[in-house]
Structure 1
Amino acid sequence: MPSWITEASLRAEHGLAHGSEVHLPEGSRLTPSASQLLAERKIRIKYIADDGRVFLPDDADAGASEKTPVHPLTSANVRPGNRCAVCNSHVEKKTELLTLLDSEQLVPKTHPRIALRGKLDTLISQTVWVQTQFAVSFEKYPALCHSLADLRSFMGNLLRSEVTGEAQAEISMGDLDDKTIHEISHHPLKYLGHDHIVPELSHGPNVSLLNVLRAMAREAEVEACKAFQTDSFSLTRPDIVQGLNRLSSALYVLMLMVLVVETTGSLPEIGVIS
């Protein structure tokens, strides 16, 4: 019998950032409300088998032996090519210096976009570790854990977008959209009841952990500018650069929310953003 994924379980167990994706057990089914939630947020679905293979939802009804597994990040199911990005010729043997820029092109690992991927990879790994700390610290405030999960989903979406060339969706964190996050980060006293902070020891370990992630997001933003800036000072991927800019803002807002909760014992009620 298939297991049913409800809206409540999605909200409790997954990051639900707009334009991100969720990984569900193979053979599971979505209730109507769960399906509607994912559709409204334009969240992609992938199914995970017990052995770790990843499948797309079009094949969800087929048995494991009948389905074609895909790459967990890019969703590709074909072997990538080995074409040199400089001379455009086929590379018979890939050296340790080279890596894939996309599904076809090989570039040196010193390429600016590869450097950006390294920053994103480190940021995601540290965020997952911070999530393990929050799971205990904020058991009574699941909204904070869910907000961090949404940002972790957004980071994964940034990495996938950079690799595949897909447009990057705007950030969201809980019920806060891109515009709201930007506004709160500039006027926290108005919306959260606490003014700007420069992190210090007295703010405690949770704010400190989030600040590490915020700083790493800013480092990734700088790498993105290096990778996508043109000679005329425009950007070939403004969506990724803006996404990283808003990510650092969202982490800063979450830092302030955590500080308010730990100080007052309650989450702030955010009013209408004008």
Structure 2
Amino acid sequence: MPSAADLERTIATIKERRAELTASIRSLDFREISELQHINTMLPILEEDLSTVKVEEQNVARLQLLAKFGSSHVNGVETIWMKNAAGGRLTAKRMIHGIASTPTINSHKYSLLSRGMMVKLPVPLLSSHKGHATPIGQVVLVRKKADQIYVQAVVFHNEAADYAWKLIEQGETRCFSGAAAPDGYRVQGVVDGVTFYDRWTLGEVSVCRKGANPDCTFEILPSSSLLAAAPGDFASEARGAPRSAAGSSQNLARYCD
């Protein structure tokens, strides 16, 4: 069976030929009339085949996605994570975790409602929202709750990422800043100069010296947390994750004054 793309090209070509024949239908000879009749008979069959192939390809794509990513939805908390080659969670020696976004009104006078967040992994990890084409790492796990977006990210191994990791280890950068993609968002309303977004896509997460949202901080994810949790079990990370502003630990809050 040809692919959906091949069938779409074939159908488009046949439709062009049908339009040509129809435009000069009064001067068609017997062969051309037979060709037009054949086209009118075959097009519905090809279009039905196209619909079938699209469904099959979507099913295959869904299975491939499931092979690369894991997900869970428990008590209103949605989590998606990248898998490694063995089917477990993707981990690395240099990982950080924390709160990337909350609905708190930030210093830019807008609020990203956590419940409206959409995401497609991997999400690039940047430094202060710079270097979109050359990220210093990538977000490999996202957990969405009604009041916060928690993430885990891997820091790459190269000179730029090494310097970023040095700043992280020294405590120079301990704020997260989750940024919405430039499209796919929806404004719920604007009140007193503050814009509320109830639908948005997580486009990137940055490590910063000072974030726009004081709730958003992170820590180095200990290797013991990775080893203790089985695939799909995030209890250990949840216990060690930085809390939002209402319960931020002092060692994290001081980085976002």
Query: Structure 1 length as normaliser, TM-score?
Result: 0.22
| Higher share in strand | 2
The structure with higher relative contact order (CA 8 Å, sep 6+) is 2
| Higher share in helix | 1
- Structure possessing the higher radius of gyration over alpha carbons: 2
